[in-house]
Amino acid sequence: MDAGGQPTLDEIEERFVWLVAGRLARDEADRWAARWVMEDGIVWDDLSWWALNRLHGVDLPAAEGGSYLHDDEQVRTWLTELRTRRAM
C-alpha cells in the first residue's frame, strides 16, 4: 500500500491474480474492494477505480442456478483487460 494506506495498482492486480488462481474467495475480494470503493476522500486514477469496481461485486449471485453474475471467464477477462490497459 502507498504511504496513504490505499492499495497500489499492483496490489489491486494481485487480488485479481489470487482470485483467478483460487487463492482468494470471491466474498473476500468483494469485501476488500468494498472498503476502498466506499472510503471517502480517496482520489483514484481511472484504472485503479475501474479495477476496484470490478472486484467490488464479484461475489454477486446470478438470478438462478447458484452461480455468480460474473463467471470465472469474466474475471479472467477483467484481469487481461487490466494488464492490457496498464501496458498502454
Q: What's the pTM value of the predicted model, to 2 decimals?
A: 0.89
Give the pLDDT of residue 2. 53
As a whole number, the mean pLDDT across the chain is 93
Residue 17 has pLDDT above 50, yes or no: yes
Distance CA 20, CA 3 (A): 28
Backbone angles phi, psi at 61, to 5 degrees: -75, 150
Q: What digits encode the pLDDT tens for the residues 30-72? A: 999 999 999 988 999 999 999 999 999 999 999 877 899 999 9
Residue 3 has pLDDT above 60, yes or no: no
